[in-house]
C-alpha cells in the first residue's frame, strides 16, 4: 500500500506545485476573451480608451490572472479558481450590449460578480447567470438592463447559494418572478429604481433570511403582503414610491428588529385610531403622503433612536412639536404640510443635522441667528413659506451646504451667501425681496444660481466670472440696468442664461458665440439695441453632459455622501412658456431643449442668415423688435423648430418656401410686419392656419387665411367675385383677431417664464 501511495502522493504534489500558483488556463482565456471584445468595441471611442487601458493593463497572457486587477482567486490548497470579479465602473462610455458578458459565464467557480455602474444594456443573460451555480453575491445595479427578470434563473437547481442580489437602478419591468422565493439564503434583495409592476410575490415572507428588502421606485401594486410579518430578521423594508394600496397594517410595528421603514409615496392610508406601541428601535421612517392629519402621531415621539423622518405631503398642522425640535435627528422632511409658527433656535442646535426640508408650509418670521450652528446641514430647503427679514450671516458657517433653497418667501436685504470653503451646488433665492447688487464673490462651486423675481439692481458684477462651474444663471424679473458685459462670455460653463425682464442696455456682445454650451438663452423684455450678432451661429452646438444632466446631478451628490444616507437630489423641471402655454422641461431631458428668446427689445437690422445653423433650436422668438429685411431662407434648416415668432417687426418680402421643411413646427407667428405674397404650402404649413398669426401685413395670401393668390388663379378662369369678398371679410376678421391677439399676449407676458422646480428624493439605505 505504502509503495503504491508514495508515487501517487508525489504525483499529487507535483500537480499541486505546477498548478496551484496560477488560475486555470480556460478561466484566463475567458477573461482575455472578455478584454479583447471590450477593446474591440473601444476602438470606436479612441479618446476615452486611456482609462480602460490602465484598468485592464494587468490583464495580459504572460501573468497569472489571480494577480489581475479586479480578479480574486480562492486560496484552497491545490486550486486557485477565479471566485470573484469586481468590475465596477469599467465601462462608462456609450451603452454596450449585454452580450459582451458572455465569456464571463464560463467561469463557473465565481461566487461573487460585481458589474455595477456600467453602461450595459439589453436583457439579463439568464442562461449565463444560471451557469454560475456557486454565486453568492450578484451585483448588477446601475446599468441599463431591461426586459423582465428571467424566472428560470431562480429555479432550485441554480443559484441556491445566492444571498445578495442587487438589481437596482436598471430598466427591468414586468412581474417579480415568484421563483425568487427559491433563493432561501437571500438576505439582501434590492430591486429598487426599476419599472417592476403588479403585485409582489404574496409569499415574500418565505425568504426567511431576508434582512434588506428594497422595492423603492417601482410600480408595484396591491396591499402589503401579510407574510412579511414572518420575516424575523428584517431590518430594512423600503416600499417607497410604488402604487401600494390599503391601510398600513399595524403588525408592521411589531417587527422587533426593523430599523428602516419607508412606506411613503404610495396610496397607503394611516388609520389615525390605531394604537401603536412600537416594538422596534427605528432609525429611519417615511410616511410621506400617508394621509396623516393634524398632529404628528405621538408614537413617533417615542422612537428615541430615530435619525431620519419624512412626513411630507400630509395635512399636518400646528407648530413644530418640542419633542421633534429636541430630537437628535439628522434628517427632517416635513414639506407640503401646513405647519406654522417661527423656527425655534433649538432646531439648529443639532450638530448632526444633515437634511432639513420644510418647503411649502406656513412658517413665518425671521430665521434664528444660530442657523449656522447646524454646521453639517447639506440640504436646506425652506422655500414656499412666509419667512421674512435678513438671512443670518451665520449661514455662511455651514460649510458643506450643497443645496440652499430659500425661494418663495419674503426675505430681504442684500444677500448672496459668502461661503469660505465650498459653496452650494444649487442656490435658489428666487421670488423674494432681495435687493442691491449681485455679488457672487465666493460661489466657486455653484452650478445653479436662481435669483429671479427679486429686486436686485445695478450692474452685472464681474464676480460672476469667478463662478467657474456656473451652468444655470437666472436673474429674470429684476432691475439690472447695466449693459450685457463682455465678461459674461468668459463663463464658459453656462448652459442656461435667463435675463428676461430687466432693463439691460446696449447690444448683445459678439463674444456670446464663445458660450458654446449655451442651450437656453432668454434676453427678452430688456432694452437691448443693435443687431443680432452674426456669430450666434456658433452657439448651442455642443450638448455637454454636465451637472444639469440629472444622472450627473445624482452621481455628483452620491460622491458627496455622508455615511447615514444616500441622498439623491436633483433639479427637476425648468418650466417655460412653451408655445404659449406653460410646460415643464424635465431636467432628465433638459439637454434636448434649445431655446432662443430675444423678443421685446429694440433690436435692429436684419435677421442674420447664420441663425439657420443653430440646428437644434426648438424655439426662436425675435418678436417685438425693429428687425427689417427679409426672412432668411436658412430658417428652413432649423429642422427641430417647433415655435417661430417673428411678429411685430418690420420684415418685408415673402415668407420663404423653405419654412415648409420645418416638419416639427406647430406655431408660426409672422403678424404685424410688412410681408407680402404667398404663404408657403405643404406638410405642416397647411395647418398653420390661424389668421391671428398673419394679421397686419402688407398683402399675404394663401389657403391658410383663405385669401387666394393671384399666381394660383387659373389664367383661363377670371377671379371670381367671391374671392374678393373673402379678402375683405378676412380683413374684417383680422382686425377683430388683432385685439384678441393682444389680449393673449398680455396673458402670456405675465406668466412666469422660467421656474426652477425641484424635487428631492431621499434614499436611505443601510450599508452592510
Ligand X SMILES: *[C@@H]1O[C@H](CO)[C@@H](O)[C@H](O)[C@H]1NC(C)=O
Report the distance separating Cα 591 and Cα 119, nearest Å. 19
Q: Taking CB under 6 A as the rule, does residue 479 contact ligand X?
A: yes
Among 187, 310, 477, 642, indicate the residue that binds ligand X (CB under 6 A).
Answer: 477
- Grouping H, G, I as helix, E, B as strand and the rest as coil, residue 601 is coil
Q: Which is nearer to ligand X, 316 or 557 (CB)?
A: 316
Q: Taking CB under 6 A as the rule, does residue 362 contact ligand X?
A: yes
Q: Taking CB under 6 A as the rule, does residue 621 contact ligand X?
A: yes
Instruction: For cell 460653463, name the residue.
Output: 493
User: With contact defined as beta carbons under 8 Å apart, do 485 and 473 qualify?
Assistant: no
Q: Which is nearer to ligand X, 317 or 542 (CB)?
A: 317
Q: Taking CB under 6 A as the rule, does residue 22 contact ligand X?
A: no
- Contacts for 750-753 with beta carbons within 8 Å, 24 or more apart? 751/577, 751/582, 752/452, 752/453, 752/477, 752/575, 752/577, 752/582, 753/476, 753/498, 753/500, 753/501, 753/522, 753/524, 753/576, 753/577, 753/597
Q: Which is nearer to ligand X, 305 or 650 (CB)?
A: 650
# chain residues binding ligand X, by CB under 6 A: 64
642-661: contacts with ligand X (CB under 6 A): 643, 645, 650, 652
Among 137, 223, 342, 370, indicate the residue that binds ligand X (CB under 6 A).
Answer: 370
Report the distance separating Cα 275 and Cα 22, nearest Å. 63
What's the closest the beta carbon of residue 551 comes to ligand X, in angstroms? 28
- Render 677-719 in DSSP notation, one character per residue: EEPP-SGGGGG---GGGG-S-S-EEBGGGTB--GGGS-SSSPP
Instruction: Calculate the alpha carbon distances from 215 to 81, 517, 558 in Å.
Output: 35, 38, 20
Among 364, 444, 556, 727, indicate the residue that binds ligand X (CB under 6 A).
Answer: 364
**Angle subtended at Cα 308 by Cα 245 and Cα 295, rounded to the nearest 5 degrees:** 65
Q: Taking CB under 6 A as the rule, does residue 269 contact ligand X?
A: no
127-156: contacts with ligand X (CB under 6 A): 127-128, 131
488-517: contacts with ligand X (CB under 6 A): 489-490, 501, 511, 514
Report the distance separating Cα 605 and Cα 149, nearest Å. 61
Report the distance separating Cα 309 and Cα 355, nearest Å. 10
Q: Which is nearer to ligand X, 283 or 741 (CB)?
A: 741
Q: Taking CB under 6 A as the rule, does residue 624 contact ligand X?
A: yes
Q: Taking CB under 6 A as the rule, does residue 181 contact ligand X?
A: yes
Give the CA-trace dihedral at 454, 457, 460, 464, to 10 degrees. Answer: -50
User: With contact defined as beta carbons under 8 Å apart, do 276 and 250 qualify?
Assistant: yes
Count how many Cα atoms sit within 13 Å of the Cα of residue 551 in the half-sphere of its side chain. 14
What's the closest the beta carbon of residue 490 comes to ligand X, in angstroms? 5
Instruction: Calculate the alpha carbon distances from 572 to 371, 568, 589 in Å.
Output: 27, 12, 10
Among 372, 436, 544, 605, indicate the residue that binds ligand X (CB under 6 A).
Answer: 372
Number of other residues whose CB lies within 10 A of the CB of residue 724: 12
Question: Binding string to ligand X for residues 659 to 698, with x set by CB under 6 A, is what?
Answer: --------x-x-----------------------------
Q: Which is nearer to ligand X, 107 or 261 (CB)?
A: 107
Report the distance separating Cα 82 and Cα 107, nearest Å. 7
What's the closest the beta carbon of residue 570 comes to ligand X, in angstroms? 27
From 369-377, 427-435, 466-474, 557-565, give the range in contact with ligand X by CB under 6 A: 369-377
Q: Which is nearer to ligand X, 88 or 628 (CB)?
A: 628
From 166-174, 277-285, 482-490, 532-540, give the range in contact with ligand X by CB under 6 A: 482-490
Q: Which is nearest to 205 in space by CA: 185, 223, 190, 225? A: 225
Q: Which is nearest to 287 in space by CA: 252, 257, 256? A: 252
Q: Which is nearer to ligand X, 106 or 588 (CB)?
A: 106
Report the distance separating Cα 146 and Cα 149, nearest Å. 8
What's the closest the beta carbon of residue 664 comes to ligand X, in angstroms? 14
Question: Binding string to ligand X for residues 276 to 305, with x set by CB under 6 A, is what?
Answer: ------------------------------
Question: Binding string to ligand X for residues 513 to 532, with x set by CB under 6 A, is what?
Answer: -x---------xx-------
What's the closest the beta carbon of residue 67 comes to ligand X, in angstroms? 5
Among 393, 433, 712, 725, indicate the residue that binds ligand X (CB under 6 A).
Answer: 393
Q: Which is nearest to 641 in space by CA: 666, 670, 671? A: 666
Residue 733: exposure state from Cβ atoms within 10 A (0-12, 13-18, ≥19): middle
Number of other residues whose CB lies within 10 A of the CB of residue 603: 23
Q: Which is nearer to ligand X, 202 or 733 (CB)?
A: 202
Q: Taking CB under 6 A as the rule, does residue 108 contact ligand X?
A: yes
Q: Taking CB under 6 A as the rule, does residue 9 contact ligand X?
A: no
In the beta sheet, which residues pair with residue 230? none
Q: Taking CB under 6 A as the rule, does residue 206 contact ligand X?
A: yes
From 279-287, 621-629, 633-641, 754-762, give the range in contact with ligand X by CB under 6 A: 621-629
Among 5, 25, 54, 60, indicate the residue that binds ligand X (CB under 6 A).
Answer: 60
Among 48, 94, 433, 486, indicate the residue that binds ligand X (CB under 6 A).
Answer: 486
Among 599, 625, 696, 765, indicate the residue that binds ligand X (CB under 6 A).
Answer: 599
DSSP3 helix / strand / coil % (the chain, rounded to 5): 25, 25, 50
Q: Which three cell numbers stand for residue 104?
A: 464571463
Stated length of the chain: 768
Q: Taking CB under 6 A as the rule, does residue 63 contact ligand X?
A: yes
Count how many Cα atoms sit within 13 Å of the Cα of residue 756 in the half-sphere of its side chain. 30
Q: Which is nearer to ligand X, 553 or 644 (CB)?
A: 644
What's the closest the beta carbon of residue 745 comes to ligand X, in angstroms? 4
What's the closest the beta carbon of residue 483 comes to ligand X, in angstroms? 13
300-359: contacts with ligand X (CB under 6 A): 317, 338, 340, 345, 349
**Angle subtended at Cα 584 by Cα 637 and Cα 457, rounded to the nearest 5 degrees:** 90
693-752: contacts with ligand X (CB under 6 A): 745, 748-750
From 3-11, 212-220, 289-297, 483-491, give the range in contact with ligand X by CB under 6 A: 483-491
- Contacts for 465-469 with beta carbons within 8 Å, 24 or more apart? 465/490, 465/491, 466/440, 466/441, 466/442, 467/440, 467/443, 467/491, 468/444, 468/493, 469/444, 469/445, 469/493, 469/547
What's the closest the beta carbon of residue 143 comes to ligand X, in angstroms? 19
Q: Taking CB under 6 A as the rule, does residue 160 contact ligand X?
A: no
Residues near 691 by Cβ (< 8 Å), separated by ≥ 6?
A: 704, 705, 730, 733, 734, 737
Question: What residues make contact with ligand X under the rule CB under 6 A?
Answer: 36-37, 40, 58, 60, 62-63, 67, 105-106, 108, 127-128, 131, 178, 181, 203, 206, 317, 338, 340, 345, 349, 362, 364, 370, 372-373, 386, 388, 393-394, 397, 477-479, 486, 489-490, 501, 511, 514, 524-525, 577, 579-580, 599-600, 621, 623-624, 626, 628, 643, 645, 650, 652, 667, 669, 745, 748-750
Amino acid at each position: 500500500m505504502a509503495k503504491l501511495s508514495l508515487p501517487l502522493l508525489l504525483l499529487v504534489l507535483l500537480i499541486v506545485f505546477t498548478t496551484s500558483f496560477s488560475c486555470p488556463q480556460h478561466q484566463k482565456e475567458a477573461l482575455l476573451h472578455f478584454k479583447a471584445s471590450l477593446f474591440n468595441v473601444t476602438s470606436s471611442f479612441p479618446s476615452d480608451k486611456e482609462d480602460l487601458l490602465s484598468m485592464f493593463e494587468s490583464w495580459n497572457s504572460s501573468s497569472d490572472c489571480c494577480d489581475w486587477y479586479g480578479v480574486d482567486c480562492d486560496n484552497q490548497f491545490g486550486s486557485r479558481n477565479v471566485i470573484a470579479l469586481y468590475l465596477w465602473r469599467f465601462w462608462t462610455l456609450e451603452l454596450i450590449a449585454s452580450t459582451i458578458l458572455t465569456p464571463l459565464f464560463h467561469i463557473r467557480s465565481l461566487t461573487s460578480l460585481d458589474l455595477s455602474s456600467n453602461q450595459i444594456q439589453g436583457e439579463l443573460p439568464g442562461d449565463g447567470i444560471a451557469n454560475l451555480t456557486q454565486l453568492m453575491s450578484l451585483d448588477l445595479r446601475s446599468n441599463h438592463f431591461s426586459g423582465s427578470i428571467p424566472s428560470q434563473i431562480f429555479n432550485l437547481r441554480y443559484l441556491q447559494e445566492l444571498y445578495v442580489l442587487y438589481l437596482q437602478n436598471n430598466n427591468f419591468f414586468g412581474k417579480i418572478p415568484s421563483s425568487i422565493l427559491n433563493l432561501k439564503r437571500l438576505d439582501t434583495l434590492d430591486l429598487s429604481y426599476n419599472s417592476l409592476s403588479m403585485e409582489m410575490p404574496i409569499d415574500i415572507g418565505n425568504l426567511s433570511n431576508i434582512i434588506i428588502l428594497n422595492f423603492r421606485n417601482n410600480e408595484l401594486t396591491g396591499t402589503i403582503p401579510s407574510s412579511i410579518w414572518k420575516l424575523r430578521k428584517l431590518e430594512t423594508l423600503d416600499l417607497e414610491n410604488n402604487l401600494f394600496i390599503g391601510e398600513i397594517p399595524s403588525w408592521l410595528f411589531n417587527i422587533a428588529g426593523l430599523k428602516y421603514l419607508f412606506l411613503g409615496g404610495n396610496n397607503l392610508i394611516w388609520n389615525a385610531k390605531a394604537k401603536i406601541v412600537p416594538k422596534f428601535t427605528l432609525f429611519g421612517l417615511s410616511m410621506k403622503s400617508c394621509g396623516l392629519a393634524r398632529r404628528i402621531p405621538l408614537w413617533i415621539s417615542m422612537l428615541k433612536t430615530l435619525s431620519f423622518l419624512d412626513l411630507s405631503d400630509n395635512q399636518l398642522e400646528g407648530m413644530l412639536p418640542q419633542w421633534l425640535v429636541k430630537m437628535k435627528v439628522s434628517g427632517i422632511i416635513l414639506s407640503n404640510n401646513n405647519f406654522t409658527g417661527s423656527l425655534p433656535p433649538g432646531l439648529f442646535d443639532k450638530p448632526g443635522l444633515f437634511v432639513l426640508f420644510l418647503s411649502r408650509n406656513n412658517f413665518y418670521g425671521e430665521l434664528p441667528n444660530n442657523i449656522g450652528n447646524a454646521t453639517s446641514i447639506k440640504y436646506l430647503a425652506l422655500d414656499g413659506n412666509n419667512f421674512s427679514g435678513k438671512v443670518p450671516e451665520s449661514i455662511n458657517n455651514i460649510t458643506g451646504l450643497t443645496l440652499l433653497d430659500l425661494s418663495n418667501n419674503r426675505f430681504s436685504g442684500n444677500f448672496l451667501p459668502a461661503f469660505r470653503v465650498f459653496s452650494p451646488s444649487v442656490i435658489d433665492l428666487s421670488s423674494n425681496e432681495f435687493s442691491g447688487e449681485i455679488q457672487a464673490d465666493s460661489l466657486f462651486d455653484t452650478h445653479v444660481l436662481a435669483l429671479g423675481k427679486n429686486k436686485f439692481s445695478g450692474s452685472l458684477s464681474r464676480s460672476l466670472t469667478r463662478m467657474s462651474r456656473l451652468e444655470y444663471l437666472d436673474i429674470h424679473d429684476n432691475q439690472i440696468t447695466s449693459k450685457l458685459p463682455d465678461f459674461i462670455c468668459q463663463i464658459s460653463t453656462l448652459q442656461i442664461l435667463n435675463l428676461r425682464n430687466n432693463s439691460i442696455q446696449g447690444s448683445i456682445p459678439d463674444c456670446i458665440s464663445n458660450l458654446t454650451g449655451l442651450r437656453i438663452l432668454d434676453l427678452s423684455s430688456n432694452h437691448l439695441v443693435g443687431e443680432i450678432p452674426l456669430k450666434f451661429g456658433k452657439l448651442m452646438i455642443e450638448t455637454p453632459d454636465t451637472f444639469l444632466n440629472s444622472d450627473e446631478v445624482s452621481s455628483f451628490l452620491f460622491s458627496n455622501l455622508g455615511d447615514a444616507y444616500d441622498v439623491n437630489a436633483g433639479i427637476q423641471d425648468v418650466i417655460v412658456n412653451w408655445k404659449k402655454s406653460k410646460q415643464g422641461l424635465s431636467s432628465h431631458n433638459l439637454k434636448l431643449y434649445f431655446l432662443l428668446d430675444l423678443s421685446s427689445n429694440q433690436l435692429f437690422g436684419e435677421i442674420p442668415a447664420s441663425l439657420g445653423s443653430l440646428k437644434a433650436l426648438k424655439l426662436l422668438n425675435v418678436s417685438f423688435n425693429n428687425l427689417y429685411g427679409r426672412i432668411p431662407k436658412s430658417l428652413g434648416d432649423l429642422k427641430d423648430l417647433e415655435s417661430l415668432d417673428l411678429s411685430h417687426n418690420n420684415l418685408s418680402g415673402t415668407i420663404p418656401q423653405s419654412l415648409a421643411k420645418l416638419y416639427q413646427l406647430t406655431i408660426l407667428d409672422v403678424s404685424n410686419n410688412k410681408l407680402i405674397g404667398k404663404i408657403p404650402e405643404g406638410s405642416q404649413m397647411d395647418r398653420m392656419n390661424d389668421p391671428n398669426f398673419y394679421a397686419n401685413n402688407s398683402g399675404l395670401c394663401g389657403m391658410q387665411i383663405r385669401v387666394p393668390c393671384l399666381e394660383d388663379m387659373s389664367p383661363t378662369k377670371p377671379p371670381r367675385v367671391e374671392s374678393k369678398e373673402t379678402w375683405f371679410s378676412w380683413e374684417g376678421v383680422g382686425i377683430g383677431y388683432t385685439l384678441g391677439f393682444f389680449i393673449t399676449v398680455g396673458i402670456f407676458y405675465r406668466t412666469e417664464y422660467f421656474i426652477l422646480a425641484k424635487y428631492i428624493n431621499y434614499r436611505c439605505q443601510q450599508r452592510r
